[in-house]
C-alpha cells in the first residue's frame, strides 16, 4: 500500500477512530483527550485523502466507496474533529458528569466510527448495522449531564430510532428477496426491474431511515435528544447523524429504475414537505434555543428530502445544503454550548445582551444562524436556491410555495430569536446580572465551521465542490 493507494486511506478512516475509541479508555483524562483529538485529526486527513484521490474504491465484497460516500466522509470526519476539540471546553464546565472523561471520548470516537463505517461499506445490510451502532454508541453520550430529562431523552432516542431501523431492516429483507443482493455496486451494475417488493422496500426504507433522519411524523426523539445531549454531541447529531441516515435511504432509493414511479416520488415529497413545513412552524414556538436548533435541523432534512425526490439540479442542491448545513449547524451548537455552560439555562427568554457579555460568541451565533437558515451567500443559500429552482422546473407551484414558505418561516423564526439573545436587553433591575461577561473559549471552532459553510457558497472549494458535483452526477442529478 502506498499513499496513492485509496485502500490505505479507506482503512485509515476506520482505524483512526477505532484506535481513538479504544485508547481513549486510558483512565487519564488529559491523555485520553489528546488521543481522541489526534485520532479525529487523523480521520480528517484520511477522509480528505480519499476525496483528493476521487476514485471509486472496492475492497472485497463488503467495503467500497464512491464520490457520494467521499463527500459524506469528509463531512463526518470534519464535524467529528471539531466536536472532539471543542469538547475540552464543554466538559470542564459539566459539574457532575455521568461519564468519565475517558469514557466520553471513547464513546464520541465510537459514535464517529459507526457513522464512518456506515459510509464505507458497500453492503446495505452492513450499512444498516453501522447505523444501528450509532444508536448504541451515542445513547450514553446523551446522559452525560446526569439529568432525569437527559435519561428520558436517551431512552426515547434509543427506542424510537431502533424501532425505525427495524422497519428499515424489514425493507432490506424485501429488497434482498427481490434482487438477491444487497451490494449497491452490484445493484448499480445490473439494476433490477421494478416490482412490488422493491417499491414496498423503498417505502419502508423511507419510514425506517426517515425515523433516524428526523422526518415527520417519526421525529419525536429528535428535539429531546438534541436538546439534552451535550453540545458537541448535539453538533454531531444535527450536523452528520441525520444526513448519514439520509445517505442510507438514498442508497435504497437508487435501486428504483428511472423514471421513478410517480407514487413513490410523491410519497417521498410528501414526507419532505411535511417535515420542512411542520418543523419551520414548530421552531417558532420553542422556548429552548437547543430545541429550536433541533427543529431547524429537521426543516433542513425535509428540504434535502425534497431535493432528493425532485432530482436534477435539486439533487445537487440537496447535497450542497447537507454539507453546508453540517458545518453551520455544528457552529451554532458550539455557540449554544458556550452560552448554556456560562448561563446555566437553555431558555431563550433568559439569555440577553450577548453582544456585550460574549461578543465573539454572539457574532458567531448570528453568523451560524444565518448559515443554517440559508442566508446568502452561505452554501445553504445556494443549496436551497437550487432546490427551489429544480422544483420550479417540475411546474408544481404548490410544492414550490410550500418549501419557500418553510424556508422563510424558519429563517425569520430562528434569526429573530438569536437576534433577541444577542442584541436584546433585559429591562430594569435584571440588567446588572445580564452584563456579567461570559467565557468565550472554544468559539474558534464555531468560526472555523461557519467559515467553511460560507466558503461553500462563495468559492469553489478545492476537491470538495468538485466531489459534490461528481456525487450529484453519480446519483442521476444534473450539475450547472
Partner 1 sequence: MALVGVGILLTALYLQAESFVAPLISTVALQSLLLAVLLGWLAWTEHSVDLAVVAGVVVAIRGIGIPWVLRHQIRAFRWKMREIHAARRVTGHALAAVALAVIAWFVFEETLGPVFPSPSYALPFVLLVQGLLMLATRSNTLVQVIGYLEEENAIVYAAAIFASGFPLLVEVVVFLDVLGVVLVGVILSIQRDVTGTLEEGQEETLSG
Binding residues for partner 1 (CB under 8 A): 98, 123, 125-126, 128-129, 132-133, 135-136, 139-140, 143, 146-156, 158-160, 162-163, 166-167, 169-170, 173-174, 176-178, 182, 195-197, 199-200, 223-224, 227-228, 285-288, 291
Q: Please, which residue, 291 or 469, has the CB nearer to partner 1? A: 291
Q: Which lies closer to partner 1 via its Cβ, residue 219 or residue 291?
A: 291
Nearer to partner 1, 270 or 473 (CB): 270
Q: Is the bond preceding 474 in cis, omega lying within 30 degrees of 0? A: no
Q: For the CB of residue 96, give the shortest distance to partner 1 in the complex, in Å.
A: 10
Whether residue 188 is preceded by a cis peptide bond, meaning omega within 30 degrees of 0, is no
Indicate the residue among 34 and 170 with the shorter CB distance to partner 1. 170
CB of 392 to partner 1, least distance (A): 33
CB-nearer residue toward partner 1: 175 or 438: 175
Residue with cell 437576534: 419
Closest contact distance (angstroms) between CB of 222 and partner 1 is: 12
Which residues are CB-neighbours of 337 under 8 A, at least 6 positions away?
86, 89, 90, 230, 231, 232, 234, 442
In terms of CB distance, is 402 or 409 closer to partner 1? 409
Measured from the CB of residue 268, what is the shortest distance to partner 1 in angstroms? 17
The grid coordinates of residue 23 equal 485508547
Cβ distance to partner 1 smaller for residue 143 or 326: 143
Quote the least distance from Cβ 285 to partner 1, whole Å: 7
Residue closest to 252 by CA, chosen among 183, 151, 195: 183
E strand intervals along 385-442: none
356, 254 contact by CB (below 8 A): no
Nearest-approach distance from CB 289 to partner 1, in angstroms: 10
Question: Between vectors from CA 252 to CA 246 and to CA 256, what angle results, nearest 5°?
Answer: 125
DSSP string for residues in 366-400: HHHHHHHTT-TTSHHHHHHHHHHHHHHHTT-HHHH
* 190 Rama sector, left if φ>0, alpha if ψ -120 to 50, beta otherwise: beta
DSSP assignments along 101-148, one per residue: HHHHHHHHHHHHHHHHHHHHB-BHHHHHHHHHHHHHHHHHHHTTT--H
Min dist CB 204 to partner 1, Å, is 9
- Decide whether 8 or 136 has the Cβ nearer to partner 1: 136
Beta 63-65 vs 57-59: how paired, if at all? Answer: antiparallel
Least Å from the CB of residue 98 to partner 1: 7
Minimum CB distance to partner 1, residue 55 (Å): 26
User: Which residue lies nearer to partner 1 by CB, 75 or 182?
Assistant: 182
Rounded to whole angstroms, the Cα distance separating 121 from 139 reads 23
**Residue 373 Cα distances to 32, 74, 409, angstroms:** 36, 22, 10
Contacts of 275 (CB under 8 A, 6+ apart): 214, 215, 216, 219, 298, 299, 301, 302, 305
* Residue nearer to partner 1 on the CB measure, 52 or 200: 200
CA distance linking residue 279 with residue 215, whole number of Å: 9
Q: How many CB atoms lie within 10 A of CB 196?
A: 9
Q: To which residue does cell 477522509 refer? A: 47
Tell the smallest beta-carbon distance from residue 393 to partner 1 (Å): 31
Amino acid at each position: 500500500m502506498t499513499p496513492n493507494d485509496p485502500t490505505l486511506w479507506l482503512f485509515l478512516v476506520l482505524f483512526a477512530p477505532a484506535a481513538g475509541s479504544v485508547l481513549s479508555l486510558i483512565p487519564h483524562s488529559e491523555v485520553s483527550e489528546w488521543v481522541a483529538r489526534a485520532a479525529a485529526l487523523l480521520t480528517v486527513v484520511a477522509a480528505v485523502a480519499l476525496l483528493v484521490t476521487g476514485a471509486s474504491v472496492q475492497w472485497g465484497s463488503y467495503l467500497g466507496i464512491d464520490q457520494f460516500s467521499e463527500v459524506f466522509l469528509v463531512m463526518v470526519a470534519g464535524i467529528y474533529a471539531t466536536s472532539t476539540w471543542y469538547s475540552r471546553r464543554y466538559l470542564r464546565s459539566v459539574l457532575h458528569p455521568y461519564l468519565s472523561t475517558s469514557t466520553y471520548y471513547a464513546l464520541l470516537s465510537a459514535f464517529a466510527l459507526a457513522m464512518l463505517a456506515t459510509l464505507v461499506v458497500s453492503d446495505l445490510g452492513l450499512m444498516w448495522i453501522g447505523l444501528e451502532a450509532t444508536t448504541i454508541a451515542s445513547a450514553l453520550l446523551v446522559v452525560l449531564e446526569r439529568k432525569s430529562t437527559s435519561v428520558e431523552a436517551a431512552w426515547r432516542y434509543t427506542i424510537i430510532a431502533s424501532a425505525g431501523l427495524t422497519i428499515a431492516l424489514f425493507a432490506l429483507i424485501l429488497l434482498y428477496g427481490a434482487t438477491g443482493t444487497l451490494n449497491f455496486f452490484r445493484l448499480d451494475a445490473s439494476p433490477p426491474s421494478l416490482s412490488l417488493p422493491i417499491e414496498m422496500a423503498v417505502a419502508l426504507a423511507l419510514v425506517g431511515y426517515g425515523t433516524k433522519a428526523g422526518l415527520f411524523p417519526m421525529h419525536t426523539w429528535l428535539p429531546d435528544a438534541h436538546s439534552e445531549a451535550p453540545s458537541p454531541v448535539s453538533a454531531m447529531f444535527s450536523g452528520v447523524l441525520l444526513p448519514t441516515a439520509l445517505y442510507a435511504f438514498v442508497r435504497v432509493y437508487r435501486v428504483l429504475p428511472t423514471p421513478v414511479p410517480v407514487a413513490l416520488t410523491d410519497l417521498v415529497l410528501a414526507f419532505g414537505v411535511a417535515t420542512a413545513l411542520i418543523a419551520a412552524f414548530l421552531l417558532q414556538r420553542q422556548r429552548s434555543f437547543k430545541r429550536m436548533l433541533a427543529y431547524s435541523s429537521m426543516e433542513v432534512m425535509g428540504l434535502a428530502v425534497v431535493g432528493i425526490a425532485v432530482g436534477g439540479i435539486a439533487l445537487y442542491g440537496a447535497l450542497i445544503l447537507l454539507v453546508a448545513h453540517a458545518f453551520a449547524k455544528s457552529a451554532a451548537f458550539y455557540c449554544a454550548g458556550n452560552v448554556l455552560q456560562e448561563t446555566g439555562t437553555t431558555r431563550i427568554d433568559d439569555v440577553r445582551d450577548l453582544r456585550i457579555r460574549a461578543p465573539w460568541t454572539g457574532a458567531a451565533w448570528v453568523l451560524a444562524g444565518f448559515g443554517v437558515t440559508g442566508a446568502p451567500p452561505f452554501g445553504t443559500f445556494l443549496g436551497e436556491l437550487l432546490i427551489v429552482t429544480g422544483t420550479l422546473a417540475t411546474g408544481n407551484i404548490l410544492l414550490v410555495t410550500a418549501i419557500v414558505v418553510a424556508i422563510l418561516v424558519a429563517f425569520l423564526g430562528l434569526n429573530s430569536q438569536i437576534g433577541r439573545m444577542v442584541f436584546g436587553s433585559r429591562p430594569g433591575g435584571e440588567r446588572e446580572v445580564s452584563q456579567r461577561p461570559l467565557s468565550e473559549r472554544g468559539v474558534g471552532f464555531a468560526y472555523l465551521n461557519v467559515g467553511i459553510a460560507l466558503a461553500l457558497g462563495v468559492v469553489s472549494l478545492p476537491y470538495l465542490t468538485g466531489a459534490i458535483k461528481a456525487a450529484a452526477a453519480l446519483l442521476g442529478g444534473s450539475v450547472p
